[in-house]
Amino acid sequence: MSPDSGWIGKEGGQGAIPDGMMAHAFERARHHPFWRHLYRDCGHWRDAPVCQKGDLLAALDGFSPAREERGIYLVRSGGSAGGGPLIFPVDIAENHAQRQALAEHLLARGVFAPNSVVLNLFAYSGLYRTAAIVDDLLERCYATTVPMSAQSPHSDMLAAAEMFQPTHLAGTPSILTLLANWCEETGKPPPRIPQLLYAGELMRDSVRERLSRIFGIQRIWSLYGAAETGIWAVSDATATPGVFSTLPQIVVEIIAPDASRFGEIVVTNTWRRRFPLFRYSQGDVGRIVTHGGQRMLEVRGRRPRTFRFYEITHDDSGFAAVAEGCAAWQAVLEFGADGCDRLGLHVVCDDPAILPAIAERLRRHMKQDEGGDTTYVRAVTLADLHIDPTTAKTATLVDRRR
């Protein structure tokens, strides 16, 4: 396990991983009750294994805020592992400190200004509260938030946009696309909104072009992080889509890079002291790049997600090629009428003539016999794709086998 490079740091920082910072973070982690089982055989931080979501779930087993002497901030991860959501505790003061640093970074980058008015369509459901995080960031920037949330009816979102004339539209690409579709289908054009902020998903070029055309977007920004690590990076997605500047006190490592230097993004958040988070995998693939004289993080996408299909392990990395020519796709695993596995590729495309070719590519990709019905392709609309009601994200893989 050798990192490609490390600390990006404030103002681009330096390339070498800060040994002292990592050593202190490791000592806090290895003596914490959460992590003793993971780090007990490690004598040096460089020997410490990458922490995966499953490790974090195991560490949190039995944790209760009722036993804490002072309050904590509970944050829910959008995904699940081991059969349930991950709910991570954060010290309130440490959380506020990281948020304040992020707000100052956003102001310095020009993402927001005190006269910004932001239509906030991120999700707020249960313990998943991206919308509330964005509200807090805006208030720290002395900007105005219009907190509608992803769960609002489209008519209410449009009414709020017409009433408050926002400078920014904020949400996941999935929710923003559905709003754009609704505006077109109902013949109710939205007011022009100059800027857009998204997070939670990658934004395809076709989505970028569509949202820019319908809402009159001139500049696009993106936030990056995770529920467990907090938000710690921002991208000018108009100038350099997918390339992020990062906060100080965040150490980024790229593990097992390929020939193009892309590898697993692993993060140590040294803001987190009460509940340390050391060498945590974001579940994404990226690399360290130099842009404008600064070291930055380029995010390519999610790490492939594995699944079992007829006793063979596959991953979802090949479906994009199978669905070539489609605006969007979603793989769906389910049981057929005979109780056996079926895999469907739900695709959004303008030309139904390409569906047989996609079906044949899918059959070959999954190594299924010709003439069988273990795989299928179905043409759907964007609204038909499953969107997680908690996170407001569209999953690439939905497993309905229970």
The pLDDT tens digits of the residues spanning 332-363 come to 998 887 778 899 999 999 888 999 999 999 99
Cβ-contact 214, 183 below 8 angstroms: yes
Q: Which DSSP state fits 3? A: B
Closest CA to 199 of 123, 287, 286: 123
DSSP category for residue 391: T
What's the CA gap between 376 and 188, in Å, rounded? 36
Instruction: Measure the CA–CA gap between 327 and 317, rounded to whole angstroms.
Output: 17
Specify if 39 maps to a domain. Answer: no
Rounded Cα–Cα distance for residues 75 and 85 (Å):
10
Q: What is the pLDDT of residues 27-39, one digit of tens each?
A: 999 999 999 889 9
Q: How far apart are CA 39 and CA 146, in angstroms?
A: 45
Please enumerate in sequence order all residues whose Cβ is within 8 A of that of 374, keeping only pairs 6 or more positions apart, or say none: 310, 336, 340, 341, 342, 343, 366, 368
The parent domain of residue 378 ranges over 306-399
Residue 364 covered by a domain: yes
Residues 6+ apart with CB under 8 A from 7: 13, 14, 15, 16, 17, 18, 21, 251, 252
Burial 277-305, CB ≥16 within 10 A → b, else e: bbbbbbbbbbbbbeeeeebbbbbeebbeb
Neighbours of 172 (CB within 10 A): 25
∠ CA 331-381-158 to the nearest 5 degrees? 125
Question: Cα–Cα distance between 78 and 197 in angstroms, integer?
Answer: 19
Alpha-carbon distance 246 to 13, whole Å? 10
Tokens 């077109």 label which residue?
Answer: 184
Per the domain annotation, does 268 fall within a domain? no
- Whether 294 and 9 have beta carbons less than 8 Å apart is answered as no
State the CATH number of the domain containing residue 351.
Answer: 3.30.300.30
- Each residue's pLDDT tens digit in the chain (402 positions)? 334 444 454 333 335 677 889 999 999 999 999 998 899 888 899 999 999 888 888 888 889 999 999 999 998 876 543 345 688 999 999 999 999 999 999 999 999 999 999 999 999 887 788 999 999 999 999 999 999 989 899 999 999 999 999 999 999 998 999 999 999 999 999 999 999 999 988 888 888 999 999 999 999 999 999 888 999 999 999 999 999 999 989 999 999 888 999 999 999 999 999 999 999 998 899 999 988 888 899 998 877 777 888 777 787 888 889 998 888 899 999 888 777 889 999 999 988 899 999 999 999 998 888 877 889 999 998 888 888 777 778 888 888 887
Q: Residue 78: its pLDDT value, please?
A: 63
Domain annotation covers residue 316: yes
Whole-number Å distance between alpha carbons of 92 and 72: 5
Q: Is residue 259 part of a domain?
A: no
Q: Are 9 and 248 contacting, i.e. CB atoms less than 8 angstroms apart?
A: yes
- Say how many domains are in the chain: 1
Sort strands 341-348 and 306-309 into parallel, antiparallel or unpaired.
unpaired
* Predicted pLDDT at 283: 86
Are 121 and 262 spatial neighbours (Cβ–Cβ below 8 Å)?
no
| Torsion 305-307-309-314 (CA) sign | positive
Structure confidence at residue 369 (pLDDT): 81
DSSP state of 48: P
For residue 101, count other CB atoms closer than 10 A to its CB. Answer: 19
pLDDT at 389: 76
Contact present, 87 and 95 (Cβ < 8 Å):
no
Q: What CA–CA distances, in Å, run from 282 to 123, 265, 269, 356? A: 20, 6, 12, 36
Tell whether 374 is covered by a domain: yes
Does 329 fall in a domain?
A: yes
| Within-domain flag for 341 | yes
Is residue 322 exposed (0-12), middle (13-18) or buried (19+ Cβ within 10 Å)? buried
